[in-house]
Amino acid sequence: MEATAFSSELRVVEGVDPGLVYKIRAAHGVDEEKFTSRDLTFLGETGDFTYFVYSGEEPDKLMSQLRRYGRGPDEMGGKGDGRTFFNVLEGIEPYGPEDRKGRGIPEDLGDLEEPAVVDVVAWPSHDRTEAERRLQLIRAVVERLGGEELASDTRRQFTVLRGRLPRKTIEGLLALSAVEKLNTPPVPFLEPSDWMQRSLDDLAFEGDADGEAIGVLDDGVASGHPLLDGLVASERSFPEEHEWQPIGAHGTLVAGLAAYGDFEVPLRDGHLLEGRGPIHCARVLEPDPGPTTATRFPPGSLVHRVIEEAIRTLHDEEGVRVFNLSIGSEYAYSGPHVALPTESLDFLIRELGIVVVVAAGNHPVHPAVMSMDSGGHVLTDYPSYTLHELARVCEPGPAALALTVGSIARSDAPQTPDGTARVGDRAVAKAEEISPFSRTGPGAYKGVKPDLVEYGGNWVVNDTGNLDYANSGVASVSLGDGGGRLFGLAAGTSFAAPRVSRLAADIWGRYPDASPNLVRALIGIASRVPRAVEVQFPGDEERLRAVGYGRPVPELALDSGVNRVVMYFDGEMDANTVAVHPVPIPDSFARGRSQRRISVALAFDPPVRRQRREYLAGEMSFDFLRNVEPDEIAARYARQGADRVDLWTDRHRLKLKPGSTRTARSTLQVRRIFPRELRVDDGDTYYLAVKHKPAPWSSGGTQRYAVVVEIVDEERQQLDIYAEAKQQIQVRPRLRV
């Protein structure tokens, strides 16, 4: 069923009465305030339904109101009881057996030939006594219908019984009102046994140190790690004269992901581990000697000077163009101006022509009370606290010219190191959702931050109510610190960032003449927002704040395909002008109904000034136009003078999302449209009008930029639009107006 295929777990609402849960289908979405005014509390939604529980004191009130509405207008010509509320509804039904089918439960139970291990989740209760009563109801059905109880959890908000259940037991539980969901236990993306005890003899790996270099600014790297042998080309410390603490695990974990990009897929599938280098390590951090697991910069050193010295040295002496900074302040950016390390980083990126990847930072947690720094409970208030003001990206994450990376979870299946899945352990995020610790936007001056997300791990609340920061089933796997194991575990945006650094280096290895702007634009065009995040954050603005443009898919950043064409321009334009780029649209792509994607990515590197109201020396934006002539575009702009406005507001301008006003203060902009239909008579060439608007303090001159256009037919995969577009492309001058 579509209703269950795209469902997320229902919201934990304290003390849900199982008999008063309803599913509602609305024609134009649900206005939650209208439902709240009728004592309905929102629980969750799927592709088909929105789920509510009646929370008022008169249980029959809702249905009596519905019956009165159904009788129509009264005899005096009134509009009928509840008309404005019920008119938006297409249907309202009690929560039933089909709604209780969760992950792993087939639509046709006849497919269950053998007993299955199933987690039977009860609705949250007001207190422990009610939770135990509901568990007893579930247990009675299991015992009566031939099931076997394996484990249980009686906590009032997380009441669950795990059992080995035959089909008839599952059918009985699906009809039990105390049950919220039946799920098969989650399976970790990578079983601990697949990596924990691995030795070199168990692995197939190789290293290539002749690629594009990556500079890792972090803690030190474990000496003699066999999977880094030959890949780490140099190690330096900044400042060199500092008396350093013994190295911790952080630097090796980050350097491992910078070299290999990912360990979990090859370890799970038995593929070759391919390390690429050279990796140049600059030690700028050390473990804090206090009672924490945090790292620190050398005391007495200016942070921005340490970072600058490390980057300049690796760039000048080793030719490094990609840098990874899995470092950041513990405090959220609050403005109005960025800090010195952030501005300094932007200066360096523009001056040296480099790509810098920065971790968005981790939202602090208070484990004693299981609350985030912003006050929300780790588990029950997730994901709302991820958008709190105190969860904004931390310095230097707001750096306008850097790629700032947040985190999503790859796995939601807690496991002990010996591979045991305990029924009371709960991952905070579901697979592909935003990690509970990931910091979000907006960035400085309302720019898009984080730009991207990658896999950085997850957290688990275990069966004793404590927080497990590095659970074997959900945390990120990278290289160990030399303590006897090849691999180690951690969770944080620190371990999402080096995956993007690896991709940036791979792009430069494939296209060595690309500018830093083009590298950033290719990563942006290859990014996709996970479906789970779309469900979590259905609003465009919240989704953009949470995950930026999404997670980059490496193969999409490196190549086109038969049904996918990527075109780019990499150059510069005069300040305060417009450049018009022709974009070929293959005839076969424009014909018929299909699931299409048209995306545009723009990256540029303006000067910055921290103490100016406009941090960027200029803003850029673009319009994507169809069924127009380039001379007409030029003529319209010529008439507008300095105060240019959008070229067209009708169907001639494709309505890409997010809107241009939302992305104009970001130096990486990715906007998309998903048209089911196009018109062939719009012509075989569309036009991309790229606009530059200088800040008052700008000195003019030129602005470097890169623009990438992607057209893809995701439904007709056999369509060879690549060959058609290649035939259409001609060298044509851009128009500047």
Look at the block and give the residue holding tokens 């247990």.
139
pTM to 2 decimals?
A: 0.88
Residue 683, exposed/middle/buried by CB under 10 A (0-12, 13-18, 19+)? Answer: middle
Question: Tell me, which fold does domain 192-198+205-547 have in CATH?
Answer: Rossmann fold (3.40.50)
398-416 pLDDT, tens per residue? 999 999 999 999 999 999 9
Kindly state the tokens that stand for 355. Answer: 């790509």
Amino acid occupying residue 316:
D
Q: Is the pLDDT of residue 733 over 60?
A: no
How far CA 127 is from CA of 132, 181, 548, in Å, comes to 9, 20, 40
Question: Does the pLDDT of residue 509 top 60, yes or no?
Answer: yes
Cβ-contact 479, 256 below 8 angstroms: yes
Interior/surface letters 597-624, b for 16+ CB within 10 angstroms, e for the rest: ebbbbbbbbbbbbeeeebbbbbbbbbbb
- Lowest average pLDDT, out of 40-49, 92-101, 193-202, goes to 40-49
- pLDDT attached to residue 352: 98
Taking the CA of residue 282 as centre, how many other CA atoms within 13 Å lie in the half-sphere pointing to its CB? 28
Q: How far apart are CA 579 and CA 586, in angstroms?
A: 22
Q: Does domain 560-736 have CATH number 2.60.120.380?
A: yes
Q: What are the b/e assignments for 538-558, b being 16+ CB within 10 Å?
A: eeeebbbbbbbbbbbebebbb
**Which of 245-249, 371-375, 453-457 is predicted most confidently?**
453-457
For residue range 474-507, what is the model confidence (pLDDT) as tens digits?
Answer: 999 999 976 678 999 999 999 999 999 999 999 9
**What pLDDT is stored for residue 426 in this prediction?**
92
Provide the 8-state DSSP code for 332.
B
pLDDT at 28 over 80: no
**What whole-number distance in Å separates Cα of residue 425 and Cα of residue 185?**
11
pLDDT in tens, 711-722: 999 999 888 888
Q: What is the pLDDT of residues 106-125, one digit of tens each?
A: 999 988 889 999 999 998 88
By percentage, how much of the chain surpasses pLDDT 70?
Answer: 86
CA angle 357, 534, 360 (to 5 degrees): 20
Q: Does domain 109-183 have CATH number 3.40.50.1820?
A: no
What confidence score (pLDDT) does residue 36 get? 64
pLDDT class of 12 with cuts at 50, 70, 90? low
Tell whether the model's pLDDT for residue 311 goes beyond 90: yes
Q: Mean pLDDT across the stretch 12-29?
A: 66
Arithmetic mean of pLDDT, 425-447 = 95
Q: What pLDDT, on the 0 to 100 scale, is given for residue 640?
A: 55
Which of left, alpha, beta for 676 (phi over 0: left; psi -120 to 50: alpha)? alpha
Q: How far, in whole angstroms, is CA 715 from its chain's centroid?
A: 24
Closest residue by Cα to residue 229 from 263, 202, 256? 256
Cβ within 8 Å of residue 114, ≥6 positions away:
none
Q: Per residue in 568-600, pLDDT tens?
A: 999 999 999 989 999 999 999 999 999 999 999
Average pLDDT over the chain, rounded to an integer? 87
316 contact partners, CB below 8 Å, separation of at least 6: none
- Comparing 737 with 548, which gets the higher pLDDT? 548
Residue 35: its pLDDT value, please? 63
Cα–Cα distance for residue pair 38/42, rounded to 1 Å: 11
Other Cβ atoms less than 10 A from the Cβ of 118: the count is: 26
Tens digits of residue pLDDT in 689-701: 999 999 998 888 9
Res. 464 pLDDT band, cuts 50 70 90: confident
Report the alpha-carbon distance of residue 179 to residue 18 in Å, rounded: 8
Q: Which residue has the higher pLDDT, 112 or 673?
A: 673
The residue-averaged pLDDT of 643-671 equals: 87
pLDDT above 60 (res 729)? yes
Q: For the chain, which residues make up each domain, given as ranges?
A: 2-95, 109-183, 192-198+205-547, 560-736
Task: Note the pLDDT of residue 59.
Answer: 57
pLDDT tens for residues 56-80? 666 566 666 666 655 565 544 445 5
| Rounded Cα–Cα distance for residues 462 and 426 (Å) | 6
Strand ranges for 98-170 from DSSP E:
116-122, 148-153, 160-165
Whole-angstrom Cα distance, residue 543 to residue 434?
10
- Distance from chain centroid for Cα 710: 20
pLDDT of 34: 62
Confidence check: pLDDT of 183 > 80: yes
Q: What confidence tens digit (pLDDT) does each residue in 259-292 have?
A: 999 999 999 998 999 999 999 999 999 998 876 6
Residue 492 and residue 499 in contact, taking contact as beta carbons nearer than 8 Å: no
Of the two residues 366 and 670, the one the predictor is more confident about is 670
What pLDDT, on the 0 to 100 scale, is given for residue 418? 86
In this prediction, residue 23 carries a pLDDT of 73
| Integer Cα distance of 254 and 248 in angstroms | 11
Pairwise pLDDT comparison (156 vs 533), residue with the higher score: 533
Is there a contact between 483 and 319 (Cβ–Cβ < 8 Å)?
A: no
